[in-house]
Chain A
Amino acid sequence: MSPGTIASSIADGLLIGIVYGIAAMGLSLIWGVMSVINLTHGALISLGMFGVYLLFTTFGLNPYLALIVVAFFGLLLGVLIYLIAIARVIDAPHLSSLLATFSVNMIIIGLGTAIFTTTPRDTGFSLGSVQIGPVTLQGTRLVAMVVTLIVAGALYAFLYRTRTGKYIRAVANNRAAAELMGIPSTAILALSFGIGTMLAAIAGGLISTFFSFTILSGGIYELKSFIIVVLGGLGNPLGALVGGLILGVLEGVLPLTMPNTWVPVIEFLLFVFILLVRPSGLLGGK
């Protein structure tokens, strides 16, 4: 095994890992703000993939412009899902919201399978590649990393610098007190769910520029998101990005030493191990 192969694997892993990270960030944000485990996450990642794919293949829209459209509709869809399916069970025990998001997931997957079938799709989009020493980096993956960093930075600026962002943190911290201050908490929760959904859709859209996919592909990334969120600490969106990088590098490097089929086994062993020794996550505070 040459150092060049290892370097390539690590670079690939980092580039893909950061995209996993942004998907996990959405999951983590929703949990952090409203303590809902969003089982719609995978389906929304899939919808993001189809959104970019369809806008690109039918209208010839540049995938990165398509991504803006997808992000907007992702936000809207998330707000709708919250208001229709989750708002009424938000104060019920966790199982209710878990089942509510699971139901929405089944609806999307069912409709998606009927409309799109499960034949793999591929955008067939390419930006060429960059050669740095022995390492070849695909253009689409580099752009995906840049987009992810911009989105993550924008999310942080939004949460810490804007009034609405501070409302989200206030509602996450103490919903009853936020209501007393005059913050309409239902609207803020709907917005937070929308942002979480938007992050899932953006991640899906980015992934669709370099991997083929079906309506079911999102499920795999949802599972990865759970591992990442546990790595990074549930409810800690920045931790999710770091967790994504860790998982990405593992996925890059592990196949060099063992058959590919063993990779998920190792990943989930890690998941269980962290849950056992550090249930709050590697970077989790509480």
Chain B
Amino acid sequence: MSILEIRDLAAGYGEVQILWGPSLSLEEKKLTCLVGGNGVGKTTLLRTVMGLVRPWKGSIRFDGKDISGTPAYTKADLGLVLVPEGRQLFTEMTVEENLEMGATNRRARPNIKKNLERVYTMFPRLKERRWQKAGTLSGGEQQMLAVGRGIMAEPIVLMIDELSLGLAPVLTLQLFQSLRQLRQEGLTILLVEQNVQMALAISDYGYVLAEGRVEMEGPARELAHNPHIRAAYLGL
């Protein structure tokens, strides 16, 4: 069953149209990835779904309800959570305060203790640094915190924008493994990545975005073997 349904979405900034009608459908409890080059509209798509950018046309349905045009702060209550590009942490607040802020929405607030333990088990480094200001963490730790903060929100759908950006390969691998673990625990995930090879390797289904449109979609395994994708994105 599909939990998030995006149909013919058009959006942009000012006069500039970025999204030219992509349609995506997220299967429940599956890891879906959205890949594509720089500036094809991946981040804009996520920002539009969250309500940070107003859609011009098209529909966004979450769990059957149309949510296009509703403000961003109402999304967390629904269970739609974004780990934004560039992490967007509360750098002046401590690690634990950041996690606490993640659990702002109504569903997550009563389970804050349980979820803190869950995040600290998944990323023990964060527990060691729980009283440190988020701005003083290394890049990898910051990305762990950003993902951890997303988990604190008890998402039904977790969307992650550029998980691997600027991270060392070993850290990237570790974070991708945590995603697999979350997927096995039954979370629906939409992963936006520039690292096409790794994203396709761990995903169930994939979309390729080009110039604001869905260029190709299919089971991730098939996409990984598609000659066009191999030539255009994997350099093979």
Contacts and interface: CB of A to CB of B under 8 A. Distances in A.
Majority SS of interface residues in chain A? Answer: helix
B165 interface: no
A95 interface: no
Interface string A164-188: 0011011011101111111111000
B89 A177 contact: yes
B226 interface: no
Interface string B122-158: 0000000000000000000000000001000100000
Contacts of A173: 90-93
A197 B179 CA distance: 46
Contacts of A181: 73, 76, 101-102, 104-105, 149, 153
Contact of B90 (A177, A179, A182): A177
B75 interface: yes
Interface residues of B, number: 26
Closest 3 pairs (CB-CB, A-B): A182-B76, A177-B88, A182-B105
Interface stretch (B4-12, B33-41, B77-85, B197-205): B77-85
A190 to B, nearest CB: 14
B75 A182 contact: yes
B73 A185 contact: yes
A169 B73 CA distance: 16
Contacts of B77: 182
Most chain B beta-carbon contacts within 10 A, residue among A174, A181, A183: A181
A256 to B, nearest CB: 41
B153 A176 contact: no
B52 interface: yes
Given A166-B100, A170-B101, A180 B84 contact: yes
B116 interface: no
